[in-house]
Structure 1
């Protein structure tokens, strides 16, 4: 508890104890303002200064502060009390109050002013803002459990003249806080945006102020050494924690808007699954069933291809559990690559996957190159394809860190340049969003996602797409010129090197 603070004349709106970036933040009176910031620069402290002025004024209102833990709440309210003393405002003691919440009782803190207004620290449950009016401060917003709903609840206060302040360091590029920042930058949200990184704060005198408080001399050399020490202490996290660069480690490598710009509703996704007992049938039975399905389902798509345009193929293999995905691309007149279809196979025997792959490649006009996943069980099919079509046409790819490092930037550039076109399908999107930055390299983490059918996926279409794009970069072989006239007629292309 703190003692009651006596009443005296208010101080100036921008006290000299605040650094220029803190003063600029306070001077911005926008209804909604957002700040992406470095750690350790004292912005929440200056927000406490502004909130104290706001609540103490007869023309002000209540302030609702929302941090993500009890320590933040207590520290902020105590900072407000200290500012009230500095300003010589009349304020009551800091009070503790237990608020009944759905899951547990929440300890909150408050300070009241002679104006009749108060500053109250709340928990981050969005429902706590119902019926409230005044100013909402969401501190370290990126670390709240349900920031999206919290922002929605806070914005409702604007209807009656309220204000919203959102302050945070970053926590990944797909965090709702960063998405809010990007929405503002794109002009889709009419909010005020501030950006204060560690070097901005140093230029405005942060280290000089630290030296003043510590009663030690300032020098440029001492500041440079201190900066280097702080940056080193954050290691790999320095860019995010100090320089306002959201990490991609907890986000996706390919953003949804980037992917959605390269999708078409005219390209089909073909999905086929067999029961476990199918593998126990006779070879002739399995072959006949698959041949009939191919003729009915894939042949109409393959026969429609332009016989004069090059084609490539990427394949991600699985026998059970995950999916086998085959993704052929054909070059267009505009020198871009359009997916013929995406084929997803689940629980197909090895021999039938070979049958399907050969059927497709045999009917791809001017087939240039195919890249096949050669990890684990996939090595069998990749090797068989190489033997059938030659090593100049088939790459047996071991998906390693070095492969991802070299080839994923090229695949991302294909989306950025709108050089590839894929089916507009929810699972196609999510399989591409599954790529993460792991150790500085875009790749698939071990965790799996859930598809629209509620079954597990592991970025299968994303891998097939990346392998297909890899195929466009290969030298390839001489493509054969033909247009298949029959759905079932065997095609025997010239196999070079045999």
Structure 2
């Protein structure tokens, strides 16, 4: 019979929660319950100490709110009454300022995106989750220090830092590897996927390894080795600078039936079952690429997806398609209908088949970032799209190679970001910076328009 809500935890999770050290660092594998366990400690502390404040900071607002939701679940287990989760934004789709739970005893938990400007000004105990993946962990750490070092405002503060590794040379790596000083000691907990399974976590490591199919990624994300170095590709600030009301997520059927006044281009990150299948369409108006539709398909058969896209392709100038895995079948069907675009082979149909190699990633994602920095793209200002674009990382491997990755989540695998990057490629020559169409590589009709 369960005597305490904490009896729900596995041994390594309970060890983490019961560690009362002021500074505590958990280097844990993915999928081992670090947020779940940390939320248990936060809620227990809020119940035991009236008017206690905790702040949760994460790389994205989605992650911050997910951890806050876990605190709400634990509050029921601890029978700690609350007013529920309240979100503070300037508008329904605006960037999160903070989320908050207030408990009946005056304690509260605040959740914010982990950026220097959002963590300043608080005096609270702190949980930083996936700290190594913050936009700027060094600057965020500097900004957060005053909130945890002043004991005159609410007493001595606790710090909980949980993360999987994200390469060397960053603050997360520095704090883990640095020797403890006499005045500043971290209690360190390392939990690999093998440690977790040995303690009763019901997952199959070999199945996870096969699904990931990335030896370096496996060593870092599941065996907690500091290998690759990664940084967010598109910051919230950069994404926000490209959000505009002119950019839309849907269009009526009449839009696709009418001949467009300005050329339309599309990128399709194809998926069949596991991830989202996203067709991102934008219109080239002068120097700007303005998003017109972001079509999201989930668990839809290939013929049905091809039917939906074919309806749109009639008036789209060019489509860049993820021609990998299940996308091969879709690409072959579309090429039969609309022809292939391959400048090197002098083929000038509508569909460019893009095999997702590291070389292609090193083309489309930096070009996407440059186009956004030059304000050459307008994107819809929605939370789903903002979080998706923000989830893509530029990764430098231990061998010095550059690639791009995104974590899997219930909301996809940066599928919208990939669709947008392919759309920008379609609007250019396949690699032109800023999405500008090359007169040399354009088809005859486009050359006349450019002239």
Q: TM-score, normalised to structure 2's length?
A: 0.47
TM-score norm. by structure 1 comes to: 0.43
